[in-house]
Amino acid sequence: MQSELDSYDRRILALLQEDASLSSAQIAEQVGLSQSPCWRRIQRMKEEGIIRGQVTLLDRKKIGLNTQIFAEIKLNAHGRSNFTEFTEAIRGFPEVLECYVLMGAVDFLLRIVAADIEAYERFFFEKLSLVPGIQEVNSIVALSEIKSTTSLPV
């Protein structure tokens, strides 16, 4: 069920997406509310699951993860019948940041980070290619990043 968000809620969410360390008093001042109602709105959106959590975003390149790879995965017939086994294996790989189930020619799209191509090659041969049920992996190396955001258009 989608929650009804008014203009205050949307402005609060936009601010939190840009800087989750803002206090409810700072947010309240910027959106034109007093602190208590602003805090209650934030708590309600947390309880409703609109705000899923608050994290610190890292610059992957500054911590040595210079290579980003998108891997298209096609499962064989046996692999499709063991969907849960495949997804649990993928969830266990910290190198995989995102995994999507697709409709079309491939079954999954993974976003993977690694220090370099050699590190991805090790990940591929030592982990990914050993997951049962994989028929084909098509790896696409991202050369540069044009846009990357975690902010949703509220």
Model confidence over 64-79: pLDDT tens digits?
A: 999 999 999 999 987 6
What is the pLDDT at residue 79? Answer: 64
Give domain limits for the chain: 7-47, 60-142
Model confidence over 75-109: pLDDT tens digits?
A: 998 767 778 899 999 999 999 999 999 999 999 99
Domain 7-47: which topology?
Arc Repressor Mutant, subunit A (1.10.10)
The bridge status of strand 134-142 relative to strand 108-114 is: unpaired
Average pLDDT over residues 2-28: 95
Indicate if the alpha-carbon torsion angle 13, 19, 25, 28 is positive or negative: negative
CA proximity to 83, closest of 102, 105, 97, 111: 102
Higher pLDDT, 142 or 3: 142
Q: The whole model's pTM is what?
A: 0.87
Average pLDDT over residues 127-147: 96
Residues 6+ apart with CB under 8 A from 69: 111, 112, 113, 114, 120, 139, 140, 141, 142
What is the pLDDT at residue 136? Answer: 96
Domain 60-142: which topology?
Alpha-Beta Plaits (3.30.70)
What is the pLDDT at residue 141? Answer: 98
Domain 7-47 and domain 60-142, same fold? Reply is no
Structure tokens at 36: 């208590």
Model confidence over 21-57: pLDDT tens digits?
A: 999 999 999 999 999 999 999 999 999 999 999 999 9
What is the pLDDT at residue 3? Answer: 75
> How distant, in Å, are the alpha carbons of 29, 50, 62, 122, 125 from that of 53?
22, 9, 24, 32, 34
pLDDT at 2 over 80: no
Helix (H, G, I), strand (E, B), or coil: what is residue 69?
Answer: strand
What is the pLDDT at residue 65? Answer: 98
